[in-house]
Structure 1
Amino acid sequence: MTDPDEPIAILRVSRARRVFSVAVQVALGLLLIWVALTLPERQLLIQALLAILGAGALWQAAAVWRATGTDVVLTRGGLRDSAGRTIADLDRIEAVQRGAFAFKPSNGFSLKLTEPAPRAWVPGVWWRLGTRVGVGGATSGKAARQMADVIALMKAGHFPD
């Protein structure tokens, strides 16, 4: 018998995607703050709104940087992240959806669960809302497709022990 916690597949965020996604959000935040500070007419309400949006974009960039440092790990028990959080147990996965019109992250796939799970969000890596789980975003599309295929094989009973 094999170890149920042994990784079958690991979905990582590449360093280039991680840096690019954070750099775009930092640039947006700095641009919004710069516009707020350099408005020709002193309109305090608009300046405050732009500054708050800019600070929010910078906060989100920091959250994405922390989140994209985690990996998604598929084991015989289900999906976990490298921080130890359970994303979805294999016995609770009803279906894997990865088609063009599926509600899923870009470069990723979604799972339909048999029962609702607590909401969770790891920006750029995975999210969970009710009976839906989305995996992907800043990840490699090819690696996400491969992981989705392995999950589908496991659910169909075609994955060897």
Structure 2
Amino acid sequence: MTKVLLTLHVLAAIVAVGPVTVAASMFPPAVRQAGAEASALGTVRLLHRICRVYSGIGIAVPALGLATAGAMGVLGSGWLVASITLTAVAAGILIAFVLPRQDELLGRLDAGKPVERSGTAQLAMFTGLFNLLWATVTVLMIVRPGSTTGA
């Protein structure tokens, strides 16, 4: 059962978190382009929809991760606690900063208002932090410091 849970956890991470990290990273430059070319607005809408939908699906990643950790008996391990904490921080950044700013910028474009570069730069910063946290969690999941089975 552990192998099935681990497989589902990894697949969920690839299928759900991967698209969010890519689409969120592409969003700020797409907004800047849409400010200059109205034809690029469809791309901005699509990237925002990908972020919204796949972030919802991404809830499966920590749920399956906790089930896997429970099956493996590693819930108290330091690397797992750190991963859970970083995952919660990444989710918080996505929910509190990335998605609302995407909503705001898309609203400005829809209303025909200009988008300042500072708005897209700030969104890019939060998106980069979100992506960095997920990369760190991925490394922790692979290396598992202090684990007898880690690298």
TM-score by length of 2: 0.36
Larger Rg computed on CA atoms: 1
Whichever structure has more strand as a proportion of its residues is 1
Whichever structure has more helix as a proportion of its residues is 2
Whose RCO is larger (CA < 8 A, sep 6+)?
2
